[in-house]
Amino acid sequence: MDINGSVFAAMLTPMNDQGDVAPENVGVLVDHILSRGVHGLYASGSTGESVLQSREERAAVLTALADHAAGKTTLIAHVGAASTREAVALAELAGEKGYDAVSAVPPYYYKHRYEDIVAYYKAIADASGLPLIIYNIPALSGTDLSTDKLLELMEDPRIAGVKYTAQDLFQFGELKKAAPEKKLYFGTDEMFIGAAAAGADGGIGSTYNLIGDIYLAVETAIAAGDVDRARRAQRIANDFIAILLRAGVVPGLKHCLNQLGVPVGSVRAPFSPVSVEAAKELDAWMAS
Ligand code: NGF
């Protein structure tokens, strides 16, 4: 089963002003994201504040997304969790709800043996029956899989590829060279141009909720060999990301979308809404 498209938004999770999950607003957000040409959604990941939510809340968001968009666009469910049992339950749901693929961060908090991480991924693949994308995000997961271990994991035909949220373009290139048939999606938005030039199969990121068309422009320009055009598009993204990193990525994106009339609500504590100064900076960027 192929995964169609290359540019996917790591979807925010709509909430109300108290930080309760608001699945009823998933559809509006999805329509907004797709209106900019993005090829699909990657739900319940880091940007989706998933580690702050219960299994039931994550299931409600994944269900709302599938009910709204399954069969119409590519849907990837991030089901990663600290326990295999949680991840497997969400993987089963993704399989039942018509998702195109699942993805999972390695099990976090404890330092697990490699063999246990392999067993976790096999259990997720068995439960969903869908292609599985390993989510390599060492800075947040605490697990930094070596190139050899990532390649070893990818020998399982059910593992379709890796979502690579790190900054090591050498490792990224080595993975692509050794496993050209696997999908490698880059997740550090501010460096997408480098990954696209290094042979990425696409990108999955938080800022795609707002400016997904910019990454499509980078990808298209690199494919056409037009580095200047790619650089100009990445510059637009990076001017925004520089502000966003000061504001806080998830609160900042939610602020911008709310300002545009897309009701994504507030963030869940310990995240807090953007400061007055950050809001002014973001508003000025949007106005420009
Ligand atoms: O959140 C992080 C942490 N990275 C995201 C993205 O890789 C997360 C990235 O878009 C994601 O895909 C998910 O929700 O699972 C950054 O926010 C962006 O590059 C700005 O630094 O690294």
126 lines ligand 1 (CB under 6 A): no
For 189-216, what is each residue's pLDDT tens digit?
A: 999 999 999 999 999 999 999 999 999 9
Q: What is the pLDDT of residue 249?
A: 98
Residue 260 tokens, joined = 């545009």
Residue 85 tokens, joined = 């049992």
Closest-CA residue to 33 (of 205, 223, 229, 232): 205
- Range 244-268 average pLDDT: 98
User: From the CB of residue 55, how many other CB atoms can be counted at a distance below 10 Å?
Assistant: 16
Q: Indicate the pLDDT class of residue 1, thresholds 50, 70 and 90.
A: low
Give domain limits for the chain.
7-225
Alpha carbons 258 and 210: distance in angstroms, whole number = 11
Phi-psi region of 235 (alpha: psi -120 to 50; beta: other; left: phi over 0): alpha
Who contacts 140 (Cβ-Cβ below 8 Å, separation ≥6)? 46, 105, 108, 165
What is the 166 CA–ligand 1 centroid distance (Å)? 9
Domain 7-225 of CATH type 3.20.20.70:
yes
Q: Indicate which atom in ligand 1 lies nearest the CA of residue 135.
A: 15
Alpha carbons 63 and 69: distance in angstroms, whole number = 10
218 lines ligand 1 (CB under 6 A): no
Q: What is the pLDDT of residue 75?
A: 98
Alpha carbons 130 and 274: distance in angstroms, whole number = 37
